[in-house]
């Protein structure tokens, strides 16, 4: 008899699946038996992830989706329902970093774009997937927020505020959906090597400063997409059946510490 997967029989929709944490989550979910519906605005990367999942024998469909556009998100949820007739798990993972401009220079377009993707993307997908989850009285939504939504210093103004909004939306939607057996949680990654942080890592590599990447975390290192994917897997699985409305840092202890200067060897 084959090994039982932690997501056997479940259907999972994952946004931002073309790269980084979303791709790692898709591959891990498939290896645990989930059927996948993947989305990203980046079509080539999305196809690559779908091929990687198929190579591992996973069932997968997906389509190019801009999560900031409600009609496109609704079409994605419709695709999931027409293909698999149910949605058990929704991972609102697509995100954009905005810029690091000072407040006085941050444009209205940056704020609108960052909020459109990081907040409204999760709102639209949750809204459209929730109807089917509520009808079946079961479901799990996992939002990818950030340590930037907990404390300042890990992103620009718009990005940090959008992730704080996403953490709050995790709580409010958990309250709305809890009575229907639908759980909503968030992961808050720290510094992870992905497409979003590639420029910083490329710079550190070129400057011979890779030992400095993540050294301010209590674990003294940066994280990997798979380490976030395993946390998303736990929150999405039945193993987390009594957890809802929570935002769990996956950050090497970054947010656990005040990290005062001079306190570390």
Ligand X SMILES: NC(=O)c1ccc[n+]([C@@H]2O[C@H](COP(=O)([O-])OP(=O)(O)OC[C@H]3O[C@@H](n4cnc5c(N)ncnc54)[C@H](O)[C@@H]3O)[C@@H](O)[C@H]2O)c1
Q: Does 250 bind ligand X (CB under 6 A)?
A: no
Single out the segment in contact with ligand X by CB under 6 A; choices: 65-73, 104-112, 211-219, 254-262: 65-73
Identify whether 159 is a catalytic site residue: yes
Of 84, 115, 159, 222, which is the active-site residue? 159
Q: Does 192 bind ligand X (CB under 6 A)?
A: yes
Q: Does 67 bind ligand X (CB under 6 A)?
A: yes
Q: Does 189 bind ligand X (CB under 6 A)?
A: yes
3-state per-residue secondary structure call for the chain: CCCCCCCCCCEEEEECCCCHHHHHHHHHHHHCCCEEEEEECCHHHHHHHHHHHHHCCCCEEEEECCCCCHHHHHHHHHHHHHHHCCCCEEEECCCCCCCCCCHHHCCHHHHHHHHHHHHHHHHHHHHHHHHHHHHHCCEEEEEECCHHHCCCCCCCHHHHHHHHHHHHHHHHHHHHHHCCCEEEEEEEECCECCCCCHHHHHHHHHCCCHHHCCCCCCCCCCECHHHHHHHHHHHHCHHHCCCCCCEEEECCCHHHCCCCCCCCC
Q: Does 122 bind ligand X (CB under 6 A)?
A: no
Minimal distance in Å, beta carbon 22 to ligand X?
6
Single out the segment in contact with ligand X by CB under 6 A; choices: 10-18, 101-109, 205-213, 257-265: 10-18
Q: What angle do CA 63, 59, 20 make, to 5 degrees?
A: 60
Minimal distance in Å, beta carbon 214 to ligand X?
10
Q: Does 95 bind ligand X (CB under 6 A)?
A: yes
Give CA–CA dist 35/31, Å, rounded.
10
Q: Does 214 bind ligand X (CB under 6 A)?
A: no
Q: Which of 12, 53, 68, 231 binds ligand X (CB under 6 A)?
A: 68
* Closer residue to ligand X in complex, CB, 22/156: 22
Task: Please list, in sequence order, all residues whose beta carbon lies within 8 angstroms of the beta carbon of residue 173, skipping any fewer than 6 positions away.
Answer: 126, 130, 141, 184
Q: Does 195 bind ligand X (CB under 6 A)?
A: yes
Q: Does 185 bind ligand X (CB under 6 A)?
A: no
Q: Does 186 bind ligand X (CB under 6 A)?
A: no
Q: Which of 110, 132, 144, 173 binds ligand X (CB under 6 A)?
A: 144
* Closer residue to ligand X in complex, CB, 20/252: 20
Q: Which residues bind ligand X (CB under 6 A)?
A: 15-16, 18-22, 40-42, 45, 65-68, 93-96, 117, 144, 146, 189, 191-192, 194-197
Residues forming the active site: 159
């Amino acid at each position: 008899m084959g090994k039982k997967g932690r997501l056997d029989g479940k259907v999972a929709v994952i946004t931002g699946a073309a790269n980084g944490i979303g791709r790692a989550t898709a591959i891990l979910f498939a290896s645990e038996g989930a059927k996948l519906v993947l989305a990203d605005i980046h079509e080539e990367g999305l196809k690559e992830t779908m091929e990687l999942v198929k190579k591992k024998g996973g069932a997968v469909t997906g389509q190019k989706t801009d999560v900031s556009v409600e009609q496109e998100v609704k079409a994605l949820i419709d695709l999931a329902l027409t293909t698999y007739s149910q949605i058990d798990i929704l991972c609102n993972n697509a995100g954009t970093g905005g810029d690091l401009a000072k407040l006085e220079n941050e444009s209205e377009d940056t704020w609108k774009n960052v909020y459109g993707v990081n907040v409204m993307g999760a709102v639209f997908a949750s809204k459209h997937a929730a109807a089917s989850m509520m009808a079946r009285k079961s479901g799990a939504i996992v939002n990818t927020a950030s340590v930037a939504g907990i404390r300042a210093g890990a992103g620009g103004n718009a990005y940090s505020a959008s992730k704080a909004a996403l953490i709050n939306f995790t709580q409010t939607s958990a309250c709305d959906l809890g009575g229907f057996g639908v759980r909503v949680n968030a992961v808050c990654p720290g510094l992870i090597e992905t497409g979003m942080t590639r420029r910083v890592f490329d710079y550190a590599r070129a400057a011979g400063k890779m030992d400095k990447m993540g050294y301010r975390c209590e674990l003294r290192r940066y994280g990997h997409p798979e380490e976030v994917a395993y946390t998303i897997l736990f929150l999405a699985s039945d193993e987390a059946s009594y957890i809802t409305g929570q935002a769990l840092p996956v950050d090497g202890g970054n947010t656990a510490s005040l990290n005062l200067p001079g306190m570390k060897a």
